[in-house]
C-alpha cells in the first residue's frame, strides 16, 4: 500500500468519527437546515469537477467536464443560498426568543398579572 493511500485512509477514517461526533445532538427544528447545510458541503465535488474539466482534451471529456462543473456549481451555490434563506427565518425568532425569555420570567414572577409586560 502506497504512503499516499495510507494517508488518505487515515483522513477518511478520522473524518468519519469527526462527522459523527460533531452533530450528535441536534434539536428537531434544525434537522432540515442541517441537512441542507451538509448538502451544500458535499458541493466540494466542484473541486473535482474543475480538475477533470481542466484535464479534458477529447470532446467527450469536455462534455463530461462541462456537465460535471454545471451540476456541482448548482449544488454549491443552491445549497448555501437555500440554507441561508432557511436560517434567515430564525433570526426574527431569535429576537423574539430573547424577548420571550424576558416575558416568561416576568410571567413567572407575577402569574396573576396578565397585562402585557412589554413596553
- Min separation Cβ 95 and other proteins, Å: 9
Pick 88 or 119: Cβ nearer other proteins: 88
Residues 34/23, Cβ–Cβ less than 8 Å? yes
Pick 23 or 110: Cβ nearer other proteins: 23
Pick 94 or 110: Cβ nearer other proteins: 94
**Alpha helices, H only, 23-118:** 31-41, 45-55, 59-109
User: Measured between alpha carbons, how far is 20 from 10 in angstroms, rounded to an integer?
Assistant: 16
- Min separation Cβ 24 and other proteins, Å: 7
- Min separation Cβ 50 and other proteins, Å: 5
User: Measured between alpha carbons, how far is 4 from 11 in angstroms, rounded to an integer?
Assistant: 11
Amino acid at each position: 500500500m502506497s504512503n499516499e493511500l495510507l494517508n488518505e485512509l487515515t483522513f477518511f477514517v478520522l473524518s468519519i468519527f469527526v462527522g459523527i461526533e460533531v452533530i450528535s445532538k441536534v434539536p428537531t427544528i434544525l434537522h432540515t437546515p442541517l441537512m441542507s447545510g451538509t448538502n451544500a458541503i458535499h458541493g466540494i465535488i466542484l473541486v473535482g469537477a474543475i480538475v477533470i474539466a481542466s484535464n479534458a482534451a477529447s470532446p467527450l471529456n469536455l462534455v463530461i467536464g462541462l456537465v460535471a462543473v454545471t451540476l456541482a456549481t448548482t449544488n454549491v451555490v443552491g445549497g448555501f443560498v437555500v440554507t441561508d434563506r432557511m436560517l434567515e427565518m430564525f433570526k426574527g425568532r431569535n429576537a423574539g426568543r430573547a424577548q420571550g425569555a424576558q416575558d416568561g420570567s416576568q410571567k413567572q414572577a407575577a402569574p396573576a398579572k396578565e397585562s402585557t409586560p412589554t413596553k
